[in-house]
Amino acid sequence: MDKQLDQLDKDLLRLLQKDAQLTNKEIAGRLHKSVATVHERIRQLREAGYITKVVALVDRKKIDLGLVAFSQVLLHDHAATTLRSFETAVAKFPEVMECFQMTGTFDFILRVATRDMDTYHTFYRKLAALPNISTVQSFFVLSETKSDTAYPIV
């Protein structure tokens, strides 16, 4: 059975989503709890699977990944093994940041980050060469108004 989140759990998750580098002491001070309580609750949230990993978010432009595309992919065949094969293959492409199976006209949408259009074109050729690809339609990001990694916790 999943752990039921109380207000302290929710407050911890909100804080950690905004800054996972906060120490238990800093969190305890902000939430007016003991360091031991904070430590134990974070451990419980990890064990219950609410916190799946802690990462550093990197500015993609500083590492020369200036082009972001959303590529919609339609497959010819929709057998379960074919879908899994596509997912396995696409997960190996370092350019693919996210892959979602979708409802609607297209089967998958990919968020892709590359250096520039030439690099995207090289990626596109690898993607289009996968078996069972019917159509790939891509949209290129002109500007980013909002990019958040924190889920709203109510």
**pLDDT tens profile 11-38:** 999 999 999 999 999 999 999 999 999 9
Dihedral of CA atoms 46, 29, 57, 111 in degrees, nearest 10, equals 60
User: What tokens appear for 150 in the block?
Assistant: 């924190």
**49-95: pLDDT as tens digits:** 999 999 999 999 999 999 999 999 999 999 999 999 999 999 999 99
Q: Quick one: residue 101, left, alpha or beta (phi over 0 = left, psi -120 to 50 = alpha)?
A: beta
What pLDDT was estimated at residue 3?
74
Provide the β-strand partners of residue 72: 109, 137
Residue 73 CA to chain centroid, in angstroms? Answer: 18
Provide the β-strand partners of residue 101: 108
CATH 3.30.70.920 residue ranges for the chain:
60-140
Q: Residue 3 and residue 129: Cα distance in Å, rounded? A: 44
Which position has the higher pLDDT, 87 or 154?
A: 87
Task: Mention the CATH class of domain 60-140.
Answer: alpha beta
In this structure, how many other beta carbons lie within 10 angstroms of the beta carbon of residue 110?
Answer: 21
What pLDDT was estimated at residue 38?
98
Rounded to the nearest integer, the mean pLDDT of the chain is: 96
Tell whether the model's pLDDT for residue 2 goes beyond 90: no
CATH 1.10.10.10 matches 7-47: yes
CATH 1.10.10.10 residue ranges for the chain:
7-47
Q: In what order do the strands lie in the sheet with 96-101?
A: 96-101, 108-114, 67-75, 133-140
Parallel, antiparallel, or unpaired for β 133-140 and 67-75? antiparallel
pTM recorded for the entire structure: 0.87
- Residue 1: band (very low, low, confident or very high) from pLDDT cuts 50, 70, 90: very low
Tell whether the model's pLDDT for residue 117 goes beyond 80: yes
Question: 79, 20, 101, 26: which is closest to 55 by C-alpha?
Answer: 20
